[in-house]
Structures are given as C-alpha cells and as structure tokens.
Amino acid sequence: MALDDRKARVLRAVVEEHIETGLPVGSRVIARRYSLGVSPATIRNEMADLEDTGYLDKPHTSSGRVPSDRGYRLYVDELMPERGLSQDEIASLELLFRSKAKDVVSFLKETVKVVSETTNYLGFVLGPDSGSVTYTAVHLLPASVGKALLVIVTDVGFVETCLIEVPPMSTEEIRRVSDMLTRYLANVELSKVPDRANHMLHEEASRYSEIVDQVVEFLRSVQLMPEGERLFVGGAVNLLGQPEFRDVDRVKDLLLAIESEGLIQYLLERESRSGNPAISIGGENESDAVKDLSMVYGRFFAGRSEGKIGLLGPKRMDYPKSVAIVRFFERRLSLFLSQLQ
Amino acid sequence: MALDDRKARVLRAVVEEHIETGLPVGSRVIARRYSLGVSPATIRNEMADLEDTGYLDKPHTSSGRVPSDRGYRLYVDELMPERGLSQDEIASLELLFRSKAKDVVSFLKETVKVVSETTNYLGFVLGPDSGSVTYTAVHLLPASVGKALLVIVTDVGFVETCLIEVPPMSTEEIRRVSDMLTRYLANVELSKVPDRANHMLHEEASRYSEIVDQVVEFLRSVQLMPEGERLFVGGAVNLLGQPEFRDVDRVKDLLLAIESEGLIQYLLERESRSGNPAISIGGENESDAVKDLSMVYGRFFAGRSEGKIGLLGPKRMDYPKSVAIVRFFERRLSLFLSQLQ
DNA sequence: GTTAGCACTCTCAGCCCAGGAGTGCTAAAG
DNA sequence: CTTTAGCACTCCTGGGCTGAGAGTGCTAAC
C-alpha cells in the first residue's frame, strides 16, 4: 500500500497543516504553502484518491480534508521527519537531573511536571514495577511508645514507611529486632519471605511474632501495590487548551477516566505496540474517552525493573517533538536511576 | 439590618430553590412550593424589597431573582438549618479511620478522596504546619555504597526520607553516626539545630562534617517545605458538573489557579474568617477565578500543629451538608491524629 | 396590606438567508 | 495521458428576525 511520491507529500502536507491549524485543510492552502509545484485542482484529485484509500476524511461533503487515524499512522511510521532536541532544549531538561534528588518518588513526580510543561500535553510516568522485587533494606526504628517505624527500600530505590504497633520495648531491643529483620529479610525474594520469616521466628524471635507478622504483611502489600500508586500524572490542564476539548462533558469524561478508571494503565497494558517510542493513535484504542487523543510512550529501566514514561495529547499533537522528548527521557532516566542505586 | 420574618423566609426560600435548580427563581415557584400563605404578587413585592437592600440580584430586568453574595452570607449566618449527619453517613465516613494507616501523608490523601467523593465538591486538606517543629527521630540507614538513607519523623508524624552521599563506611560506623544524630538532633527545635550540630562536630564527629551538613540542610528544607507540599487536593472533576462551569476556559483558569498559582493556599491565608467552620462566599474573595465558588473549611490539630480541611464548591453548594461534614472531620481528624502519636 | 390583572421586558430556540470556503466534474490545454 | 481552469454545487457559519414563554412592576380593586 505504498503511496507514490506525490501522494505521500500531499498526505504529509495535510497532516502537518492540520496539526498546525486544527482546521480541515483545503487544496488551495496546500498548493500555496507547500511547494509541490502543482495547482489546487491536481491536489484535489490526489486528496480524493487519498480519501478513497482511507488516509483522509472529510468532516462533511464540502469542506477540507482531515487525516484519518490511518493517515496519522502512515505519517508517524513513514513520513514524519526525525527531529532531535536543540542544545537549549536539552539544557533545560537537564536541569531536572541536577536538582537534588530527595527520593525516587518525588523525583519521578518532578519528571512528570517537566515533561508536561515542556510539551504542553499531559505527561505521565509509571514507576518501575517491582516484578522481581527484593528489599535492599528492612529496618525498624523506635517511634513513640507502642509504635515503631518500619522502613523498607525496594531494589529500585522506592522508600516505603509504615507505622506498626509493637509491644513496649527498649530502644536496644527494637534495634535487635531490626537487625534480625535485616538479616533475615533484606535481599530476599518475596516468595521466600514467609519461609525466612518462619526461620527467624523459630530460631531467635519467637517472642516477636506479632511484629514479624506485620512486617511480612507490609512487604506483601508493597509488592502488590496497585499500579495506580506507581503512576504519576500531570498537566491534564494542558489538554483543555485544545480545540477538541471545547466541550466540558468530554473533559469531564476524560478526567474521570484517568482519575478513577485507570485509563492510562489500561492503555499501557492493552497493547504493547512495538516501535520506539510506541505511538498509539486515537481510535486505535477503542476507548471512547481517548478517541481524539494519541499517546507516545517509551520505557526506561531501573535495574531489572521497567518503568514507562509518556505523553497524552490531542491526535494532532506534535509527533516529532514528542518522540524526541520521550526518547530523551528513556535514555536519560535509565542512566540516572542506575547511578542512583 | 435584621429582616422581618416574612422577608427572611422569602430569602431563604429563594436561596434554597436556587441552590436546588441553579436557575433564577420566580415569584410563582416560591408561592407554590414554599407554603408562605401569600400570593405571587406579595412575594414579588418582598423580592423587590430584598433586591433594594442588596440580598437578591436579577440577571436581567425581567427574570427571576438570584441570591447576591450578601444574600448567601445572611443565609449561611442566620437562616440555614442546622444539619447533622445521619447514622449511615457517619458510618461510611468512619470507614476511613478503620483502614490501616500506612503513614500520615497517604492517610491525608485518602481523607481528601473521601471528603470530595461524599460531597461531590473539590476537597482539600492542608497538612499540619510544622511551625514549632521538632524531629522526634533522626536516623541514618545504610544503603548502597557511598549512599545512606536519612529518615526523619516530624512531631506531627510526617515521615521524610532522603538519600545522602556518604564516604564509604561500615554498617557499624553508619550506626554510630546515626546514634549521634539521634542524640544530638532529635527533639531539638530547629533554631537550635545548627548549634547542636556544631557541638556534635566538635565533640565527637569532626570526621563527619560532610554528613552533618547534609542532614542539617535537609532538616531545614523540610522545615521550609512550601505549603504546596502539605496541600492535598482532590475531586476537581466534581466541579465540572456544575452549570457555572459550562465554559472550558473558566475551568482551565480555575485548575491552573489551583495547580500552579496556589489558589487554595492563597484563599486560606488571606482571611481567617472566624466562624466554625469558616465559610467564604464568591466575590468576597476578590480573586476572579473563584467568584462563583464558595469555600467551607475548618481546622484540626495534631499536637500543637494546626491543619485545615475544607471544600470548594459552587456558590450554590449545599451549605448545611458541607458544614456538617467539615465539622465532623475537624473533630474526628484531631482525635485520630492525636491517637497516632 | 394583599391580590388580581395586565402591559411590558427580556431571553431563548428556531428559522431563514447571504457569504464563504471548498469540492467534484467537465472540458480544454499541455 | 496528465494537468489545469472554470463553474455549479454543497455545506457550514453567523447575523438578524420572530414568536413563545417566563417573569416582572404597576395599578386598581378587595
């Protein structure tokens, strides 16, 4: 289904013009603004052909053309120009990595902010999964009477804390328990944790079964942490500027879908389109709320764990720029997180 | 400026009818639906008077009346009925406090969610300030080579962690440093921290100045934590259903004002209206973005620190219910947080 | 003081119409 | 055979008009 050269150039022109203006594109504009060296009439013929083959749509019988999903697909797969980032752009993104990293979570949140602000689309990061998680540290710290603070660090650098109830104990005793926990449970795969915990109880900690139970329970709950808690989303407001969201109800549906129904997780899960970064366009994902939206996303790695970073924008988003930015972060985040460990 | 009894009843009827329907209220509806025992004509006369005295407005010469800000004010101050919460409502709110508290921050986030979901308005919680903060715990835990995890707990129960760089040290050594930090810096007022840190350096920790500097720096940064990081907001979507937000631009302005410009902090700071809970209505806060919104908020306490919890809804929100809910949380949160310590 | 009646005002939805943008087709030109 | 000019046609858009409906304010009667 390869298009001849001129058809391809017309399609590309229509897509780019439409992306820029948001309006249906007429033959005159193409003839005038894109130097194809032919008259509007010829363009019209080409556009009619492109419509027949499904690359263009017409909102109504007599107005300009608009790219169909298939048209966008061809555009991003074959027609769109490669675009790198300028020195300035890179410099401004690099600022993020210079700032003091407090902890992984706030760093990822900050990343979302930067991504969404520089693109003016909705940005998201799905934190590294903990598929094969082990805990590099498990500590118990004295808090107030009857309470202790459990601190664990996952192998991808997430710090999780939890207050647990403990019988009254001296600081020294808490420390002993903490040491035991570290000895038995740190760097142990989750599946082996109950086993190790039993060992621990039998050998030296029978008195502390209450504590150990809570610890095991918490380790499990972190492991099972729903994707929602690993997902950071920001810049939804940016979508409101887009003409396809003049309608409040649509905005509401979209925000609800993202906030309550885990739309983004759903989309990420649903298909792992290959392509790097992966791009999914409008109606390709049959969810109604996103039929005017496209998603560009890539993967990054923290150790063996994989995270995702991406953008959600209008179907007529700036694909070359979005791709460049996602690519940048794929590489840069992996680098940064590996240094952190 | 007390109104005579019938005027008060007319005003109340207009407010309640308008809150229910969102439309300008005519004299006929009032006469029919609220049993005042007089004819529409009489109501018309009363409404004309109420308009003269500034309690009602007319969108245009010949349509029904709408409460003015002053009208709402009188309504919430004197006319509106007290309303408690039903057993069912209380039961469903209490669920929140039964769930396992992981840590204070996620608990407060959960609270916001509950508040906004049960009211269908935007809900927010401003976490307890740390005006007179001390750190009840300061610990250092071994992480990977060259890194250690600093864990501190504020006196209101916030746990903050931070990875810092350390020279290569044995676990034992890290523990010694951690103990020192606890001894010198825990339960010390922030203003005295630099002093204590100096003591520590002179007396036993001169080798660790690099670490101590980072700790002091981090303590300060937590102290200075911008209000934005203590503020949890949720349920903005709920506002989109309101007729006053048919217009996307307005929605956008509002979301931007909340997200980037700290609108809520600004409003909370700007006036500490007395009243319990405090209610601020539309144009009373001159910010343009909220001229159709009202805010109902109250205080809760965690030790000596004060937090705030509230709702942002359309000016025609259900005040009796909102007040009841905020009251409930004022009391209940204070209780819960004091138990936690 | 209250009410019925009535003229008046203003909004809103629907309709029509003219203007404009763009198409598809046809026929002529290259 | 491809390209282009010309032209009739379609459809959207915005402005202006109109009639229905809702509500008011005033006046005069109760």
pLDDT of res. B271: 67
B46: confidence class by pLDDT, cuts 50, 70, 90: very high
B341 touches strand C (CB under 7 A): no
Q: What is the pLDDT along chain A (341 residues), one digit of tens a residue?
A: 567 889 999 999 999 999 999 999 999 999 988 888 899 999 999 999 999 999 999 998 888 899 999 999 999 999 999 999 999 999 999 999 988 767 788 899 999 999 999 999 999 999 887 655 678 888 998 877 788 889 988 877 788 888 888 888 888 899 899 988 988 888 888 778 888 888 888 887 778 888 888 988 888 887 777 777 789 999 999 998 888 888 888 888 889 998 888 889 888 887 666 677 899 998 666 677 788 899 999 999 987 788 999 999 999 999 999 999 999 999 999 999 887 66
Rounded to the nearest 5°, which phi and psi values hold at B325? -70, -45
Q: Which of B101, B136, B248 sits opposite A251 (nearest CB)?
A: B248
Question: Are the beta carbons of A232 and A108 closer than 8 angstroms?
Answer: yes
A62 touches strand C (CB under 7 A): yes
Q: Which residue has the higher pLDDT, B57 or B260?
A: B57
A99 vs chain B: nearest CA distance in angstroms? 13
Residue A95 CA: distances (Å) to CA of A16, A111, B279: 31, 11, 42
B148's enclosing H/E stretch is strand B147-154
B74: confidence class by pLDDT, cuts 50, 70, 90: very high
pLDDT of res. B30: 93
**A60 CA to D9 C1' distance (Å):** 14
Residues of B in contact with A237 (CB under 8 A): 252, 255-256, 259
Strand C contact nucleotides, protein CB < 7 Å: 2-5, 8-11, 21-26
Q: Which residue has the higher pLDDT, B141 or A339?
A: B141
pLDDT of res. A95: 95
**A31 CA to D3 C1' distance (Å):** 14
- CB burial of residue A320 (10 Å; 0-12, 13-18, 19+): middle
**B41 CA to D28 C1' distance (Å):** 14
B100 vs chain A: nearest CA distance in angstroms? 10
Q: How many Å apart are CA A162 and CA A179, to the nearest integer?
A: 17
Q: How many Å apart are CA A75 and CA A316, to the nearest integer?
A: 11
Q: What is the tens place of the pLDDT at every residue in B267-318?
A: 888 766 667 789 999 866 667 778 889 999 999 998 778 899 999 999 999 9
Q: With an 8 Å Cβ cutoff, are B247 and A248 in contact? A: yes
Q: Which of A102, A144, A252 sits opposite B341 (nearest CB)?
A: A144
A41 touches strand D (CB under 7 A): yes
For the ranges A287-291, B25-29, B116-120, the lowest mean pLDDT is seen at A287-291
Amino acid identity, position A145: V
B248: confidence class by pLDDT, cuts 50, 70, 90: confident
pLDDT of res. A285: 62
pTM score of the predicted model: 0.88
Give the closest nucleotide to A40 (alpha carbon vs C1').
Answer: D4
Residues of A in contact with B255 (CB under 8 A): 236-237, 240
For residue A166, the number of C-alpha atoms closer than 13 Å in the C-beta half-sphere is 27
pLDDT higher than threshold 60 for residue B1: no
pLDDT of res. A227: 73
Mean pLDDT for chain B?
A: 88
Q: Which residue has the higher pLDDT, B48 or A274?
A: B48
**Please, what's the b/e burial string for A34-46 (b: 16 or more CB within 10 A of its CB; e: otherwise)?**
beeeeeeeebbeb
**A11 CA to D30 C1' distance (Å):** 81
Which of B162, B174, B238 should we substitute to test contact with A (largest number of A Cβ atoms within 10 Å)?
A: B162
DSSP code for B302: E
B327 touches strand D (CB under 7 A): no
pLDDT of res. A331: 95
Q: With an 8 Å Cβ cutoff, are A237 and B255 in contact? A: yes
Give the closest nucleotide to A23 (alpha carbon vs C1').
Answer: C21
Q: Which residue of A has its CA nearest to B238?
A: A252
**A60 CA to C15 C1' distance (Å):** 22
B52 touches strand D (CB under 7 A): no
- How many contacts (CB atoms, under 8 Å) link A and B? 83
Residues of B in contact with A144 (CB under 8 A): 136, 341
Q: With an 8 Å Cβ cutoff, are B252 and A241 in contact? A: yes
A61: which residues sit within 8 A by CB, 6+ positions away? none
User: How would you write A89-108 as a 3-class SS string?
Assistant: HHHHHHHHHHCCCCCHHHHH
pLDDT of res. A273: 64
